[in-house]
Structure 1
Amino acid sequence: MEKMRFPIKWRIWIRECISTPMISVLINGSPSKEFKMERGLCQGDPLSPFLFLLVAEGFNVLMNKAVEVRNFQGYCVGSDEDISISHLQFADDTLIIGKKCWSNILAMKAILQLFELISGLRVNFHKSELIGINVSLSWLQDAAKSLNCKVGSLPTKYLGLPIGGDPRKSQTWEPVISSVWKKLSSWKCHSAGGSVEPKKVHWVKWDRVCKPKEEGGLGIRNLKLFNIALLGKWWWRLKNEKDLLWCRVLLGRYGKDLGFVKNKSSLWWRDLNDIANFKSQGRDRWFEDHLTKVVGNGRKTLFWNEPWVEGDTLMLGVVRKEEEEDRWQWGGESYTVKNAYLYLTEGGCGKAKTENHLFFNCPIFAVTWRELVKWLEVPTVLPEGGYDHLVSFKSLICGKAKTKERLGVIWFSNVYCIWKVRNEMVFNHRGVDWEKVVEEAKVLSWRILRTRAKGSVESSVLGSQGRKKPRRTVFLYLDLILELSAVVEKGCVQSS
């Protein structure tokens, strides 16, 4: 702990916890006289796993040093074979991975013996196995005899999961399925589903059961959407943990361009990339639409290719924070499975529903404003919302008052379409298609401007005199839009 720079007070505490305790044992049901422990800790001691991890770190240092001085050759992965893996540790389970050569066998034996002398822990060689891939059985037997361990074969188990088998075959997952089945069998004895009646009436739809309790459901998670939210967590970690070994291995194996799937990619990698194309609430790219880059010192941000300002790239300078590193954020904060699942099930982004957020800043609808600006072919950055947003939008194209009036109609048409879609989300539980919102705003603004140009709103709306109910036209919302325009032009807000 001194080498790891633990404070001296902490080291004194740990030393006292280890050296001062007294224990006794039961002999024929009666406790013996207390005595001091010479070494080690009692089983179940809360300090035991913590101290074991510190000791296991010593083995990690020994292996890294052996690789550094080339006494041990790890296994190289990646398209350029520039990533070397020598060992993987999880608690007291360790995998040592290397090339087939006697120098590796001798180095591994020396490292394990040195670790035993330094730590006082003994390696259980009788439970250890030496497994070879494309290695002759005779060579494996000689190497295992030198290490005094058994010869293993693939597939095998590691941490309860099969490794080395074909994941497409059902027999590979048979041990996992049987283990889960045993758990389910014990649970069914205590549920109504475990009775002898073969078929039952489903009184409530499953969609209703999966709704939150506040909406009359049971709060049971939709497994498909929850799995997608979990896959989103992996995508989030790939974005933020690129320096870790597991991430470097995956990116080296499948390519650093996330979203690109090779023909030889694994099923897990394909599923991970499919979440970018998963359609939620009627919209595509649910993950990428909420992903933005927060710029710190700018060293990890691609200026031209990454969404670091309002979800888009920007060819303008910004104030950089040299003391902070660049980082990713999702929906304005760090990605969590809970927020992703709520988004996938309920829609929306989960943020406070202020006026500016509802119509301008929400990631779901902010894209509509960016698309309208692209449609007008005037690159710009709009304010966060409110009156300034309207003024900036009307000033996109320099011209006469008539030009600003037309831009104002487009602005209010988009606000109205967003308001209408948000009502559909709340009251009819419909999804959002931002492309449809943009098209409706274009059509609505065109109808309003055409009606104004003709100078006769009523004739274009009512059509023939014999029609009792008018067709869907702009007459019903002209008054609303024009009244809202007058209110915003004055810079005030009126409550209804």
Structure 2
Amino acid sequence: MDNNGAWVDWDTGLQHVITGYFQDLFQSSNINLVSVLNGVRPTITCDQNNELLEPISEDEVRKALFQMHPDKSPGPDDSILRVMGFSDRWIGLILSCVNSVRYHVINSGQKMGPIVPTRGIRQGCPLSPYLFIVSAEGFSSLVRHYEATRHITGCKVARSAPTISHLLFADDSYVYCQASEEEASHVLQLLQTFEGASGQKVNLHKSSAFFSSNTATNTRNSICNMMHIQEAGEDSMYLGLPSIVVETKICLGFLKERMRKRINGWEGRFLSRAGKEILIKTVVQSLPSYAMNVFLLPIGTCNEIERMMASFWWKSNNSNGNGSGITWMSWDRMTKHKYDGGMGFRSLRDFNLAMLGKQRWRLLFNIDSLASKVFKARYFPHGDYLSAELGSNPSFICSQYFCCKRYSEARPKEENQPCLFQVNNRWDSDVVKDFFSPEDAAIILGIPIDQSGEVDSWYWVAEKNGFYSVRSAYNLLQDHKHHSANTVSNKFWKILWTLKVPPKAKDLVWRAASNCLATKRNLCIKKVLVESNCPMCDVFAETEWHLLVACDFAWSCFNFAGLATVARDSFSSLLPWLEATTSRVTSETLGRVIMLCWALWAARNDLVWKQRVRRVSDVVAFANLSLDQWINAQGKGNIPLLSPLKDGDGAEQWIKPSSGIKLNVDAAIFASSFKHGFGCVVRNSDGGLISSFAGIKDGSVAPELAEIIGIREALNWLKDNAYTRAIIETDSLVCVEAIHST
């Protein structure tokens, strides 16, 4: 039926009805930008416009491409860009890059269309996330205008806290106002104004209203009915997390169910140990990550999820989902790094604390952010986060932050002693050397003293750049929990996991060396009713050491293969023997030893389960053949070089700046004399030398700090010589990234 109420078919224009429907769906309405543009403030400076219009370098293109994430969003409007202060040339470049798709409808092989949408940008446009920010600026300015004219009232958590009228995330928006019909009508008017200006439509079916606990039920119902939206309930979700938190154990129960469904989907599949490891690390452990970035999961929830992962890891492929298998090693041990004898699985509790630590670091470091201002006004108006007390009636999120505050609490115990300084803010080296040992004095004198008089900032000692990272915080928690001084074993584990042998062989040796192999002796310890005698010799109890080395059959295999390098008589367990073997043979020979251990276990299983007896020569041949086949398979994916390398290929060369000057900075450490130095060369666009300077300072410092000191001296030279634009080049990636991050 067409718009006139007449029935049509393919012969009378059905295709036009179909294409017209979708064309109208994607067609933007007449827009009126005046009401939105009046509130947009120019924020782009002339220098920023000049920087935008500079020639684009290859490095900028590469970084931009890797940072883009495709998503759907409304298109930009050149009017908003112009009001914000962007150059007309830049606006033209942006609009020339923006295009949309042409849709076609296919029915029974018949192509209808095209349908050209004028609302929004096509799915997958790499500019979409950035253009949405521009469009959202118009909505934000409109909300600020309504707030300034007192049509809506924002929310404040404390007297000194900033007023929040709206929050924007991706293509979602939160608007805060008083729970009254008057302000609700103003919000509706605001949304209608933005619809008329942008050509977009607000989906009221996907919108909801949140009310404070003291809002009357009648008021809630009247507002929801007037706005044609629903009230958000306790089970409502936003971005995959509960919108209203009652109790973490209840509201986060969906994480366990989601984990259980994902693991159950893998049950019954034939998965190798290496395959299970990849699934656990890349899929299962990532499921609760977003929730752990916001909430402190209950310890019970973390333990239950870890039990699911452990059961999946240890369970046999033949179990068909029945039982949980024998847990041969605690999850706590398996969270150790592979180089420390574990499997490198994630401790959910420690990772949760590290994730929340990122939020706590932002409260401490980004004091000008909106979140920091809100928390400071509510919980520590006269101090900082580390000196704050929880107080009475805290919010749910704040109480969780304070629960894990002790894990990151660290600050100077005393103020700096002024007697160690001279008047010109230099270390008094004589006083320092009198009070401290030569080693400590060298470290103290190497600490640079700020000459600008700026306020000190926080520094995260676990990262070279001084900024908090989840990875470094997690490693600190793990190191504190799993502190081990057994460097010999650590060396073996590191070599084992880097050997060029099949993962199944490395996994077998890891389980054997960790006493986690399902030998008969270990099964008896786990209360499994089996005979403990070795099936190969039927004399001694079957342990990892006996089965893989001490048994006469196993030792005959080592002798036949020429791998009996370390005598078995001086050892009584497998790990020390492997450590001794590692120190005496090459990595290639050690790989053969590992493969022979795997072949011995395979021969043992053939005898136990299939009653198939293997000869010594068969076991050795099977081990060598399996390793050779695996190595050959790894080499098939290699792509030959198009041309052989020549002398000098890849050598770094100094490149002249296109204009202006370039300063090359480098640093050096003189450990024996407890000093460090720097040097700088200044050249122009013709390659000509303008200046050079160097210096030596007291103190033992890290190489990155010496590089930063050299860069600071280069900046001082630029300031003294009245240069406003220059290129500074250094070979320290850590320093470059640290400067860019600030």
- Secondary structure, aligned partner of 1:89: strand
The answer for the alignment partner of 2:216 in structure 1 is: 136
- The answer as to whether partners of 1:129 and 1:152 remain within 8 angstroms in 2 is yes
- The answer as to whether partners of 1:21 and 1:36 remain within 8 angstroms in 2 is yes
TM-score of the pair, normalised by structure 2: 0.39
CA distance in 2, matches of 1:185, 1:248: 45
- The answer as to whether partners of 1:240 and 1:327 remain within 8 angstroms in 2 is yes
CA spacing shift, 1:277–1:82, aligned 2, 3 Å: closer
The answer for the alignment partner of 1:124 in structure 2 is: 203
Deviation at 1:197, TM superposition (A): 4.9
CA distance in 2, matches of 1:323, 1:62: 41
The answer for the alignment partner of 1:255 in structure 2 is: 380
- Secondary structure, aligned partner of 1:123: coil
- The answer as to whether partners of 1:85 and 1:98 remain within 8 angstroms in 2 is no
The answer for the alignment partner of 1:111 in structure 2 is: 190
The answer for the alignment partner of 2:96 in structure 1 is: 16
Q: Residues 377-392 of structure 1: matches in 2 within 5 Å?
A: 384=699
CA distance in 2, matches of 1:108, 1:344: 47
CA spacing shift, 1:125–1:277, aligned 2, 3 Å: closer
The answer for the alignment partner of 1:342 in structure 2 is: 475
Judge which range, 190-199 or 10-19, deviates more: 190-199
Match for 2:128 among 32, 43, 48? 48
- The answer as to whether partners of 2:208 and 2:231 remain within 8 angstroms in 1 is yes
The answer for the alignment partner of 1:245 in structure 2 is: 370
The answer for the alignment partner of 2:149 in structure 1 is: 69
- The answer as to whether partners of 2:106 and 2:112 remain within 8 angstroms in 1 is yes
The answer for the alignment partner of 1:283 in structure 2 is: none
- The answer as to whether partners of 1:155 and 1:164 remain within 8 angstroms in 2 is yes
- Secondary structure, aligned partner of 2:247: coil
Task: Tell me whether 1:198 sits opposite 2:293 in the alignment.
Answer: no
CA spacing shift, 1:39–1:325, aligned 2, 3 Å: farther
Deviation at 1:73, TM superposition (A): 0.6
Q: Which runs of 4+ in 1 moved over 6 A?
A: 354-357
CA spacing shift, 1:314–1:19, aligned 2, 3 Å: same
CA distance in 2, matches of 1:207, 1:344: 12
CA distance in 2, matches of 1:321, 1:70: 47
- The answer as to whether partners of 2:100 and 2:122 remain within 8 angstroms in 1 is no
Deviation string 1:252-292 (CA, Å, 9 cap, x unpaired) is 222244242224335643443344534xxxxxxxx344x6x
- The answer as to whether partners of 1:131 and 1:154 remain within 8 angstroms in 2 is no
Deviation string 1:290-316 (CA, Å, 9 cap, x unpaired) is x6xxxxxxxxxxxxxx78xxx853445
AA partner of residue 108 (structure 2): N
Deviation at 1:244, TM superposition (A): 1.9
CA spacing shift, 1:43–1:323, aligned 2, 3 Å: farther
Deviation string 1:89-114 (CA, Å, 9 cap, x unpaired) is 22222222221234322321221111
TM-score of the pair, normalised by structure 1: 0.57
The answer for the alignment partner of 2:627 in structure 1 is: none
AA partner of residue 313 (structure 1): N
The answer for the alignment partner of 1:327 in structure 2 is: 457
Deviation string 1:305-333 (CA, Å, 9 cap, x unpaired) is x78xxx85344574645597753211151
Deviation at 1:60, TM superposition (A): 1.5
The answer for the alignment partner of 1:421 in structure 2 is: none
CA spacing shift, 1:56–1:323, aligned 2, 3 Å: farther
- The answer as to whether partners of 1:209 and 1:220 remain within 8 angstroms in 2 is yes
CA spacing shift, 1:177–1:99, aligned 2, 3 Å: farther
AA partner of residue 328 (structure 1): W
- The answer as to whether partners of 2:211 and 2:220 remain within 8 angstroms in 1 is yes
Sequence identity of aligned pairs in percent? 27
AA partner of residue 218 (structure 1): M
Match for 2:393 among 264, 273, 276? 264
Size of the alignment, in residue pairs? 329
Q: Residues 281-360 of structure 1: matches in 2 within 5 Å?
A: 287-289=408-410, 312-315=415-418, 318=425, 320=450, 322=452, 327-331=457-461, 333-346=466-479
Deviation at 1:219, TM superposition (A): 1.6
CA distance in 2, matches of 1:88, 1:163: 15
- Secondary structure, aligned partner of 2:156: strand
The answer for the alignment partner of 1:461 in structure 2 is: none
- The answer as to whether partners of 2:367 and 2:373 remain within 8 angstroms in 1 is yes
- The answer as to whether partners of 2:157 and 2:374 remain within 8 angstroms in 1 is yes
- The answer as to whether partners of 1:132 and 1:153 remain within 8 angstroms in 2 is no
What CA RMSD, in Å, does the superposition of the two structures yield over aligned residues? 3.7
Q: Which runs of 5+ in 2 are unaligned?
A: 1-80, 270-311, 426-448, 484-668, 675-697, 702-742
Deviation at 1:202, TM superposition (A): 3.5
- Secondary structure, aligned partner of 1:94: strand
Deviation at 1:162, TM superposition (A): 1.8
- The answer as to whether partners of 1:19 and 1:37 remain within 8 angstroms in 2 is no
The answer for the alignment partner of 2:166 in structure 1 is: 87
CA spacing shift, 1:39–1:205, aligned 2, 3 Å: closer
- The answer as to whether partners of 2:101 and 2:122 remain within 8 angstroms in 1 is no
The answer for the alignment partner of 2:406 in structure 1 is: 277
CA spacing shift, 1:251–1:33, aligned 2, 3 Å: same
Deviation string 1:455-476 (CA, Å, 9 cap, x unpaired) is xxxxxxxxxxxxxxxxxxxxxx
AA partner of residue 165 (structure 2): S
The answer for the alignment partner of 2:64 in structure 1 is: none
Judge which range, 219-228 or 25-34, deviates more: 25-34
